[in-house]
Chain A
Amino acid sequence: MKRIIALSARHWYAWAMVAPVILVIGLIIGYPLTRGVYLSLTDADEANVERHIGVNDIPATYDFIGLENYRTILSDSVFWDRLGWTAVWTAACVGVTFALGLTLANMLNRRVKGRTFYRVAMIVPWGIPAFVSVFAWKMLFNEKNGLLNKVLEGGGIDAVPWLGDPTWAKLSVVAVNVWLGVPFMIVAMLGALQAIPGELYEAAEMDGAGPWQRFRNITLPGVRAVSSTVVLLSTIWTFNMFPVIYLLTKGGPGDSTEILVTYAFRLSFVNSPRDFATSAAWGVLILLLLSLFTVVYRRALRRQGEAW
């Protein structure tokens, strides 16, 4: 007890300052999360949860069924298919976004006429709400009347079913997500590049290092710290990227572009009957996968001497 008093006497400033965040996170994430995990261990669906119809309260009648939901999900190919596509989607989006972001940031970091204009123009997509951009893209992708197909038609090429064919739809959603993600990458990378002292390049040049050598031995190590964080963050964001896929294709055609998150949403809000328990179990699995990824990633970084 004395220890606690002594501790709070010393740390109460710090605790008071973090208290609001703890409160918000505990109330709005902690409790629902616990409940979500519990739901995933039951057979709750639309028909047996607590409902209020008019003045009548119908009490919940779902049962605790242990890990049954998880067994069903993991033995079903749907989950593994979705997981496979989610992995491809995440790797493709993060990889392309990172490569493009680093390239463009590198170009913008040079003395070039109109630098400010280019920089502002290229981060415009970031300043526009994602759902607005997604609608803009949906209009361009429109199969019958969209601008992209009209342009192709003008060039004598057959219309491409941008969102109607599984393969094209996959390419399209990745393209839109990359478009949305590149500005953030440019800004982060540009900051990292500008923190690399220019003398390093001069010294290297004087020692006769070619452009590729300079890029490999100065630029890449210089942006490592920032890129490791940025890649981790964008992996998590992309893995959970709901709006792009939901608004662009609704997971279709069929369920070809459905990633784990949108499928879980579909289970509890789109499908009928709404299957809350399975949806929650999907959510828990997503969370486990991401936590695992983060731990492995962090460990790999630490082994390479990154401090955190």
Chain B
Amino acid sequence: MTTSRTATARTATARTEKPEGGSPRDASPRTAGPRGGGPRRRTRTPAASIGLHAGLLIGTVCALFPPLWLLVTSFKPKSESFTTALVKDFTLGNYRHVVADTHFLSWFGNSLIVVAGTTVIGVFIAATTGYALSRFRFPGMRPLMWILLITQMFPMAVLIVPLYNTLANLGLLNQPAGLIITYLTVAVPFCAWMMKGFFDTIPVDIDESGRVDGLNPFGTFWRLILPLAKPGIAVTGFYSFVTAWAEVAYATAFMTGEENQTLAGGLQNFVNRYGTDWGSMTAAAVIVAVPAGLVFGFAQRHLVSGLTAGATKA
């Protein structure tokens, strides 16, 4: 049964790849061109080349400028936050102020706990769910797929008030655990969906060989399949990380009191009715963005393969 499922997925891919008119060709799925290949174009006119680079450069500048400007501003003294010049009087004062005089470090710590919890638990249960969805046909599978899809469209506006009450009853307000559970519901459906697509690309033969060697399904999953799915784990881990690191609405509503907040909620303290403390804001934003950037840099190698594996077979 499992084999037929994979086979259907394969033919679906093959079908979409087939050119219109269906010329008879070897329909070998997923044989992407050589790595870094793409369409082999031997000739390109100079004009086309310039156009290509111009387009890419514009894209790059648009993508990089806002964060870079944030970085530049964070090194300016507070009074010069809005000057157009690059740094005139280089200062680390904003950083010193943020770290020493605000609750920034506790926000950072809270965020770390929440993020670690969400990522570890989230990736693990997303992986088991994705595996079950990919390999077994069981009663309740289709409804579960639907639930995973539909939970992603739940506006937090419906959930936030009742959820607040629920967490209050469980005594989980102002506790990292409360936020971790909440974020799991945000991250896990998408991750499970992606992991399923990822496991679909791993041949079922591997499972079968595991079974022949006397491993039970959990053993097969844990010892054989999971190590093969590392790129998928990187992608889902990254997604959970970003979700937990950057979520604003729940974090603002559930964590009250300055020292309980996470970064996303805490940073809003720099904006108040008297205006915005741009100096501290930019410095804090840079410190917040660095870990995210590091994790991203680590995971991005796997992003392409992981995401599309999930997306194609979704």
Cβ–Cβ contact B56 & A104, under 8 A: yes
**Are B64 and A121 neighbours in the complex by a CB distance under 8 Å?**
yes
Residues of A within 8 A of B185 (CB): 24-25, 28-29
Q: In the complex, A217 Cα to B161 Cα: how many Å?
A: 49
Contact of A124 among B16, B64, B182, B285 (CB under 8 A): B64
Which one, B31, B37, B281, B288, contacts A129 given CB within 8 A?
B288
CB contacts (< 8 Å) of B32 on chain A: these are 194-197
A125/B63 contact (C-beta < 8 A), A29-B151, A194-B33 known: yes
Is the CB of B90 closer than 8 A to any CB of chain A?
Answer: no
A21 adjacent to B129 (CB under 8 Å): yes
Shortest CB-to-CB span from B127 to chain A, Å, is 9
Query: How far in angstroms is the closest Cβ of chain B from A196?
Result: 6
- A 206-218 binary contact with B (CB < 8 Å = 1; else 0): 0000000010011
B171 on interface, CB distance cutoff 8 Å: no
B39 contacts A110, C-beta separation under 8 Å? yes
Chain A nearest CB, measured from B133 CB (Å): 7
Chain B contact patch, size range: 35 or more
Q: How far is the CA of A242 from the CA of B247 in the complex (A)?
A: 10
Interface string of B79-91 (1 = CB under 8 A from A): 0011010000000
Q: How far is the CA of A28 from the CA of B84 in the complex (A)?
A: 47
Contact A195 B158, beta carbon cutoff 8 Å? no
Q: How far is the CA of A18 from the CA of B128 in the complex (A)?
A: 7
B49 to A, closest residue via Cβ: A112
A294–B150 touching, CB < 8 Å? yes
Could you tell me which residues of chain B, from 300 to 314, have a CB within 8 Å of some CB in chain A? 300, 303-305, 307-308, 311-312, 314
Min CB distance B155 to A, Å, is 5
Residues in A134-191 with C-beta less than 8 Å from chain B: 135-137, 139-140, 142, 145-147, 150-151, 179, 182-183, 187-188, 190-191
User: Are A127 and B157 closer than 8 Å at their CB atoms?
Assistant: no
Q: Would you list which residues of chain B between 39 and 89 have a CB under 8 Å from chain A?
A: 39-41, 52-53, 55-56, 59-60, 62-64, 66-67, 69-70, 73, 81-82, 84
CA separation between A196 and B19, bound complex, in Å? 10
The stretch of B92-100, B101-109, B289-297 in contact with A is B289-297
Instruction: Decide yes or no whether A96 CB sits under 8 A from chain B.
Output: no
A112 near B162: Cβ-Cβ < 8 Å: no
The answer to whether the Cβ of A108 comes within 8 Å of any Cβ in the partner chain is: yes
B30 at the interface (CB under 8 A from A): yes
Q: Which of A33, A135, A217, A305 has the most CB of B within 10 A?
A: A135
Q: Chain B: which residue is nearest A293 at the CB level? A: B153
B167 to nearest A CB, angstroms? Answer: 9
Residues of A within 8 A of B221 (CB): 17
Q: How far is the CB of B23 from chain A (nearest CB, A)?
A: 7
Say how far A236's CB is from chain B's closest CB, in angstroms: 4
Once bound together, how far apart are the Cα atoms of A74 and B64, in whole Å?
43
Residues of A28-58 at the interface with B, using a CB-CB cut-off of 8 Å, are 28-29, 31-33, 35-36, 39
- Return 25 A-B CB contacts under 8 Å, by A number: A18-B133, A29-B154, A33-B158, A123-B63, A124-B67, A129-B289, A131-B248, A147-B84, A150-B84, A182-B63, A188-B311, A191-B305, A194-B38, A195-B13, A195-B17, A195-B312, A197-B32, A214-B39, A226-B312, A229-B311, A243-B249, A268-B160, A268-B161, A284-B158, A294-B149
Which residue numbers of A lie inside 8 Å of B, CB to CB? 7, 11, 13-15, 17-18, 20-22, 24-25, 27-29, 31-33, 35-36, 39, 103-104, 107-115, 117-118, 120-133, 135-137, 139-140, 142, 145-147, 150-151, 179, 182-183, 187-188, 190-204, 214, 217-218, 221-222, 224-226, 229-230, 233, 236-237, 239-240, 242-243, 246-247, 260-261, 264-265, 268-269, 276, 279-280, 282-284, 286-287, 290-291, 294, 305-308
- Nearest first, the 3 A-B pairs at minimum CB distance are A283-B158, A191-B308, A127-B296
B residues near A (Cβ < 8 Å) are 8-9, 12-13, 15-20, 23, 25, 30-34, 36-41, 52-53, 55-56, 59-60, 62-64, 66-67, 69-70, 73, 81-82, 84, 125-126, 128-129, 131-133, 136, 138-141, 144, 147-163, 165-166, 181-182, 184-185, 188-189, 192, 216-218, 221, 242, 245-246, 248-249, 253, 263-264, 267, 278, 281-282, 285, 288-289, 292-293, 295-297, 300, 303-305, 307-308, 311-312, 314
